[in-house]
Every structure is written in structure tokens, then in C-alpha cells.
A and B are shown apart, each in its own frame.
Chain A
Amino acid sequence: MPETDSASSTNSGKDLDLVPFRMPSLGADMDSGTIIEWLVGPGVEVHRGDVVALVQTDKSDLDVEVFHDGTIAEILVPAGVKVPVGTVLAMLAAPGAAVESGPTAETAPVVETGPPPLPPETPEPRVLTLPSPEPLAHIASPVLRHLAETLHVDTGHLHGSGTGGRITRDDIEHAGQRRRVTPRARRLAREQGVDLTTFPTGGAITGDSVLDRQPSGPPTAASQPAPSAAPRGPDPEAMRRAIARLMTTSWQTIPHYQVATRIDLHLMLDALEQRNAGHTATERILPAAALVRAAARAAASVTGVNGFWIDDAFVPGDGVHIGVVVALRRGGLLAPVVRDADRKDLVTIMAEMRDLVTRARTGRLKASEVGGATFTITELGEGGVDSVAPIIHPPQVAILGFGAVHDEAWAEDGMIAVRAVVHATLAGDHRAIDGRIGSAYLTTLTKYLQEPLES
């Protein structure tokens, strides 16, 4: 621990132009996150977009970027601690304000112990000291952090018995013993997205106690083996239970309404055929990609369908992230997410869908790839049915269902023609959106599907 006085370090910090770096919201349902690892330390220069930390949410581990240029002045939340979204994690000094790196501050605490500092007119770098690690950085050693992770111990809730409240190896091992997790419980927690650190201590966590919990995410976010796990895929029974819970919640709590329309796809299909003519099988763009893109663009332009109903209020999505329902061959569903689908071109969307669907069917999706959808599309075209009246994926407020594309009699300009037609049905959460919006959505969707392809 550096021999500094924390009061003086705070004072010296006030002189600088400091910018707070906060725990970002990495998903509509994220209200807190745990810093797994800091990739930078005090004194390190960072630029907007640099990945500075690894953060664990209920669903996955995510890289977190910094939004400003500058130099890390102080790390306020150490690794291993869970904090609410918005908590200041670190302070950044604006560019130009030099910050001395940690080790130097430790060995040469110039400001505090030397003669009174000179006014900062000389080019000599200004010095920020390291924060005192004791109030917050109570688990400093990577070895202990690793031990805590291995034993599923949430160090944020531990009371350290070491000097200054430091968490010791004994503390972690003791807590780890109290929170023993059975193999079955660990498997179920992984499959159903249940956070084991939220269980009360005392006794082993068993499979039944995990099953008693509602999953912390939708089944799509659950049911995933860890990316490093063998490709055995999710347990079909656990997935079935998760789907059952989610759909029951949806059906019992969401007043669904449905609006439907027929859409003439002949222009789109002709355009795709022309476009695909010069491409190999793997480069072809399938109609499904065009439907997803048009649906995403419509969701972006019609206010109210893209987002969530949370705590009696509509919360718009942080982008148009389309969950695409994939039926697994051995039963069950997953909805991998095409993020920002309204802003991607057809080639990109097609490539992502190919990749996501393939990996969904082989059980190799990452948790982050099935979370965060703001709108969902289900397509039952393969089964040959004309239309589908889908059930909303809570807490989203709408879902769009496509039936198969069939040739149908189509009246236009007083004539009857045979056209390739798809039946689109939008189910809306009537608490959040009225039929007029659903209708506007389908009208917009139809409009986009008549436009020339962009790629």
C-alpha cells in the first residue's frame, strides 16, 4: 500500500479536469455489473473506444469501452465488486493532465512527503497518487480473485477479516464452503441463466433450489452452455421448462392483440433472384434476410414497437436488435440476435443470420448473442403454414410472424394476378401500443418490402 494520505490525494485530484467513467448499461435488463478485470491501471493513457475493463452481467461477460480520451487517474471500483449501473468506476484525467503511474507514485510520493510542491507552472508533470486501496480494493490479489470466482463467492458481499477489512484467503474459502454448488445445480444455473451468487449462504445450492428461481433472463439468454463447453447443446428438458415459464408469463400477463396483412413480395424476390444470379450458394441472399432487414427498418421508423414494457412504462430499445427465432432440430427454440439490424446491409445481415442459425443449432452460441433483443421475428415459412399468430417475448412489446411465401391470387388495378405473397402478423402488447401503431408498422413494413434492394 502506498504511503499516502488519502485526503491529500483527493485534494490533488480536484485540481484536475476529471471525467467520471461509469458502469454502463449493457442491456435493457441490466441493472448492475461486476468488474471482472481492469485492463488498465492508473496512469495509463486511453482513447475513446478502448476496451478498459471486463464486466460481468447476469448473462455474460462483456468488454467495456471508454468514451473519452484521457488518462486513468483513479480506479474507484476494484475487480470483483458488483455495482449498480451508473456507478463511477474510475476517474479520467483530461488529455494533457499528466498522471503518474502507480508504481512510481508508490516509490516516489513526491507531493505528500517531499517539500511543498511548486506551483504547476513548470513542465514537471503533475502527480496524482493512487487511491488508498483499503476502503474499496479489499481484494487485491489476482490469486484470491480467481479463488473467489472458482468458489462462486461474491466478494462484494464479503466482510473482510484482514487488516483494514481486507478479504483474506480464509474469508473466501469459508464463504466458498458455505456456498457449495452441486454439479446438477451448476448445470441448471448455466442452462437457465441463474446467477448463483444471489443465493443465500448456508448449505449447498442444489438443483431444486436453482429450479425454484425464475431465470434471470429469457430462455433464449438461458439454455446456453458456456462458450468453452463441449458442443453438447442445451438440455432439452431445461430449455422446455424455460420456454414454458416465459410463454406462460407472456400469455398470462400481456394483453395481446394481433393485426395482419398480406404482402406482395414479387418485386423483392425478383430482385433477389437477379442479385443472386452471379453468386455462389454461400453468397446467396435468402428472402429471410430481406424480411429481417425490412422488419428492422420498420421497427426503427414506427415509434413504440421497438422496446420493452417495464414497470408500467414503455422503455425504447437502445437500437433495433432483432431476435430471430430458430427452431432447434431436437426441440426447443433459441432467438439469436442480429444487432442494429436496421443499419446493416443485406449482405451483412445474411452473413450474421447464417452464422447465428448454424451455431444456434449446434449449441455454440454465446450468451451475449441471445440477449438484448428489442423486437422478435418468427418465421414459420419452412413448415408451409400461411400465417402465425405469435406470442410476445417479454419484456418486449411486439413480435412479428411470417408465414410461408405462397403464390396467391392478387387483385391490383382491377386485374387479378398471381403473386408471391407472405402473410405478416404483428402481435402487440396492448398495454404499450395500440392497434393503430401495429397497423402503421405493417404498412411501413409493406412499403419497405416494395423498395429496390440496396445491395
Chain B
Amino acid sequence: MTITCREAMRQAIREALLADERVFMMGEDIGAYGGCFAVSKGLLEEFGPERIRDTPLSESAFVGAGIGAAMAGMRPIVEIMTVNFSLLALDQIVNNAATLRHMSSGQIGVPLVIRMTTGGGRQLAAQHSHSLEGWYGHIPGIKVLVPATVDDFRHMLQPALDDPDPVLIFEHALLYNAEGELGEDPIAPIHRAVVRRPGRDLTVLTYGGSLAKVIAAADTMAAEGIEAEVIDLRSLRPLDDDTYITSVRRTHRALVVDEGWRSVGISAELSARITEAAFFDLDAPVGRVCSAEVPIPFPKHLEDAALPSVEGIISAARQVLSDDA
């Protein structure tokens, strides 16, 4: 069955609400309006205002409330409109959600799921377009999931709710309308990276909104006889080192594609881990394709220039493959 990622996430939320009465959802405009990205459309009518709760425009307050509810035994799904706004709740996420298990000697857990959109490409300018999931990947005590396919939008939520600790799910806004075939079962446990496209010549590591660009680039290169292995990380914390290191050891070349900024980001972390674990298997320096180090611009041509592109990925892959790398 072919559905959109939006529909896949809505099905996942609905299934969770039906399966467990402790599950409820809250966020800005998720009820009467149906969600800024229409993910929760229709849920208020089906489940009522007790379980589909509109909140004031105060990320710190409703994320904090979600943490409290989770500590008290509920299984909240908190939606933050975009990752940029999550910074208002950063104190709650970093200082409370991520720490309480540790600070209570394991006595108090925070089984909370926070969903938020991320990424650019919609001309929403510099305050609504950034990819900050790498920042969250820095923080011990939380898990960071980055679904890229209909399957993962559909099947990552329940394992996240089942996790005894906070899980953040970053949904690239451009994916909501992306369609794909829905499978019956999850492709892999949520913490595992998967090979989306096998290849022998180089390994391309990516996730979320960049996956489709990387697949497109790999298909183009395949026409020239270059077989890129595409790895979908799926989780930025924990990182599934085994999967991508094994691949790099086989292909001897690696390229990281990340819509985040290059400096001090997840692409730097991946490059470092590859160098640590597979240095003596490398035939070229690890390559990176990231967003330009500017606030994401509003004009379309500038935004396009700032974000990773299929052409840019192909060009970087050629560089990694060349002997002059």
C-alpha cells in the first residue's frame, strides 16, 4: 500500500492511542487546527480534547508538562512545531528529561516522546529551516531518531513509546508529502542503521531528508558504473557504528551527507568515528556534504544553493573516488 509519511505517522499515533490509554498527545495547534503539518488531523474528533491537547505557545511549559506526565506514569507524545522552537524547551530536555534517570539513581525515568519537524527546502527562512538534530545527538540520556521512509514514519513511534527514556523523533518537513510503499513490519530495530542501497565503490552515510537525494545521486552514478552503498543511519544517538564501519571497511571510501552545518556537527562525528575505527581500511579522506554555513536563506535560489543537492553529492562522491582525493 502506498501512503505518505504524514499518513504513516498519523496511523502510528492513532494506533498508539488505541493500544494504550496512558498515551496522549499535546502541542501547538495539534487539535482543532489538525497540526501545523496536518499530522494530527482528525485525531481530536476521534480521541477528544483529553488526549489530543492544544497547548499555549510555550515550548518550555508544555515540554516540561510532558516530562512531568511521563514521570507520573503517562506516555506522552509531545509535538514541537519545528526544531528551531525546541530551543525554547532545551532546558527542559537537557536539564530534566535527559538527566533525571541518572540523578535519581535510576529510580525515576522519563518515558517521553518528543516529535518535531526539521530541515529546510520550503522557503521558510532562517528561523524555521534549520537541522539541529545533530545538537541533540550530543546529549547523553536521550535517543535521537531520524526516520526517512514511510516505513520508519509508521514503525518508529511505538518502539520510542516503549523506551523507558526520552526519545526525540526528527521528521523532515519535506518528507510529509513523500509517498512510499508501507511494509507490515519495521525494517530493523530503531537503533540500527540499514543499507538502503548496496554498493561496492563507496559508502554514503546519510539520514532523514537527505536520503532521497543520496539515493538519486547513487542511481545517477550507477549509470556510470559507480556503485555507491547508501546507509540510512535512522538513529543519531546511539549511532550504529557496526553497520557503517563494516561497510566502509569493505568499500574503503566514505562520504557523509548531512543537512546540518559542517562545523562541529554529526558529519564531523561520523568522520571521526570512521577514522578511529577504519583508518587503515581507507583509500581516501572521508568526504562530507553539508549545508552552507549560513542561516538558511529565504530566496529559493539561495536556499537551494545552501542545502545539499544531488549534483553536489555526486561531485563529492567523485572526489572521494578519485585518486587525487
Binding site for B on A (CB under 8 A): 182-187, 202-204, 206-208
Give 13 pairs: A residue, B residue, CB < 8 Å, sorted on A: A182-B283, A182-B284, A183-B279, A184-B283, A203-B324, A204-B283, A204-B284, A204-B323, A206-B283, A206-B284, A206-B323, A207-B252, A208-B252
CB distance from A189 to the nearest CB of B (A): 11
Interface string of B256-294 (1 = CB under 8 A from A): 000000000000000000000001111110000000000
A187 touches B280 (CB 8 A): yes
B283 to A203, Cβ gap below 8 A? no
Given A183-B283, A206-B323, A208-B252, 12 additional A-B pairs, CB 8 A: A182-B282, A183-B281, A183-B282, A184-B252, A184-B283, A187-B280, A187-B281, A203-B324, A204-B284, A204-B325, A206-B284, A207-B281
Distance of B199 from chain A, by nearest CB (Å): 15
> SS class of chain B's interface: helix, strand, loop or mixed?
loop
A181 closest partner in B (C-beta): B283
Shortest Cβ gap from B286 to chain A (Å): 11
CB-CB under 8 A from A206, the residues of chain B are 252, 283-284, 323
Residues of A with C-beta under 8 A to B322:
203
Measured CB to CB, the closest approach of chain A to B32, in angstroms, equals 59
- A187 CA to B280 CA, complexed, in Å: 6
A204 to B323, CA, bound (A): 5
Contact of A184 among B282, B323, B324, B325 (CB under 8 A): B282
Q: Which residues of B contact A187 (CB under 8 A)?
A: 280-281
B247 CB to nearest A CB, Å? 14
Chain B 311-324 interface 0/1 with A at a Cβ cutoff of 8 Å (1 = within) = 00000000000111
**Which residues of the other chain, A, contact B281 by a CB distance below 8 angstroms?**
183-184, 187, 207
A405 CB → nearest B CB, Å: 42
Identify the closest chain A residue to B285 (Cβ): A182
A residues less than 8 Å from B280 (CB atoms)? 183-184, 186-187
Tell me the minimal C-beta distance from B276 to chain A in angstroms. 12
Whole-angstrom CA separation of A185 from B325 in the bound complex: 14
Identify the closest chain A residue to B324 (Cβ): A203
Residues of A within 8 A of B282 (CB): 182-184
CB nearest neighbor in B for A204: B323
Contacts of B283 in A (CB 8 A): 182-185, 204, 206-208
What residues on B are CB-neighbors of A182 within 8 Å? 252, 282-284
**A184-B283, A185-B283 known; A204+B324 contact, CB < 8 A:** yes
Residues of B within 8 A of A202 (CB): 323
Pick the most buried of B252, B283, B324: most chain A CB atoms within 10 A of its CB: B283
Give the residues in chain B near A185, CB-CB below 8 Å. Answer: 283
Cβ of B323 and Cβ of A203 under 8 Å apart? Answer: yes
Nearest first, the 7 A-B pairs at minimum CB distance are A203-B323, A187-B280, A206-B283, A182-B283, A204-B323, A184-B283, A183-B279
* Minimum Cβ distance to chain B for residue A208 (Å): 7
Determine the distance from Cα of A202 to Cα of B323 in the docked complex, in whole angstroms.
9
Tell me the nearest residue of chain A to B325, going by C-beta: A204
CB distance from A30 to the nearest CB of B (A): 28
Q: Return chain A residues, CB-CB under 8 Å to B284.
A: 182, 204, 206
Rounded to whole angstroms, the CA-CA distance of A202 and B322 in the bound complex is 12
A203 to B325, CA, bound (A): 9
Distance in angstroms from A111 CB to nearest chain B CB is: 54
* A203 partner residues in chain B, CB cutoff 8 A: 322-324
Q: Roughly how many angstroms separate A379 CA and B279 CA in the complex, as a whole number?
A: 38
Identify which of A182, A185, A187 gathers the most chain B CB atoms within 10 Å of its CB. Answer: A182
Distance A203 CA – B281 CA, assembled complex (angstroms): 18
CA of A183 to CA of B324 in the docked complex: distance in angstroms?
Answer: 14
A208 to B253, CA, bound (A): 12
Cα(A281)–Cα(B298), bound, Å: 81
Contacts of B324 in A (CB 8 A): 203-204
- A208–B325 CA distance with the chains assembled, in angstroms: 15
Residues in A whose Cβ lies below 8 Å from that of B325: 204
Residues of B within 8 A of A183 (CB): 279-283
Cα A204 to Cα B279 in complex, Å, equals 16
Instruction: Quote the shortest CB–CB distance from B278 to chain A (angstroms).
Output: 9
What residues on A are CB-neighbors of B252 within 8 Å? 182, 184, 206-208
Render B237-264 as a binary contact track against A, CB cut-off 8 A, 1 for contact.
Answer: 0000000000000001000000000000
Chain A proximity of B250: nearest CB distance (Å): 11
Distance in angstroms between the alpha carbons of A32 and B252 in the assembled complex: 33
The residues in B between 141 and 173 inclusive whose CB is less than 8 angstroms from any CB of A are none
CA distance A187 to B284 in the complex (A): 14
Please, which residue of chain A has its CB at the minimum distance from the CB of B322?
A: A203
Residues of A with C-beta under 8 A to B323 = 202-204, 206
In the complex, which residue of chain A has the Cβ closest to the Cβ of B284? A182
A412 to B252 alpha-carbon distance, docked (Å): 64
Q: Which of the listed residues A184, A186, A202, A203 has the most CB atoms from chain B within 10 Å of its own CB?
A: A184
Q: Which residues of B contact A207 (CB under 8 A)?
A: 252, 281, 283
Closest residue of A by beta carbon distance from B280: A187
- A206 CA / B283 CA spacing, docked (Å): 5
Report the separation of the CA atoms of residues A208 and B252 in the bound assembly, to the nearest whole angstrom.
Answer: 10
Set of chain B residues within 8 Å of A184, measured between Cβ atoms: 252, 280-283
A207 to B325, CA, bound (A): 14
Q: What CA separation (Å) do A207 and B280 show in the bound complex?
A: 10
Q: Which residues of B contact A208 (CB under 8 A)?
A: 252, 283
Q: How far is it, in angstroms, between the C-alpha of A185 and the C-alpha of B282 when the chains are bound? A: 8
Q: How far is the CB of A212 from chain B (nearest CB, A)?
A: 13
**What's the Cα separation between A182 and B253 when bound, in Å?**
11
Alpha-carbon distance between A206 and B324 when the two chains are bound, in angstroms: 10
| B315 smallest CB distance to A (angstroms) | 18
Q: A58 to B324: give the CA distance in the assembly, Å.
A: 27
Chain B, residue nearest A232 (CB):
B280
Q: Identify the closest chain B residue to A203 (Cβ).
A: B323
Closest to A208 in B: B283
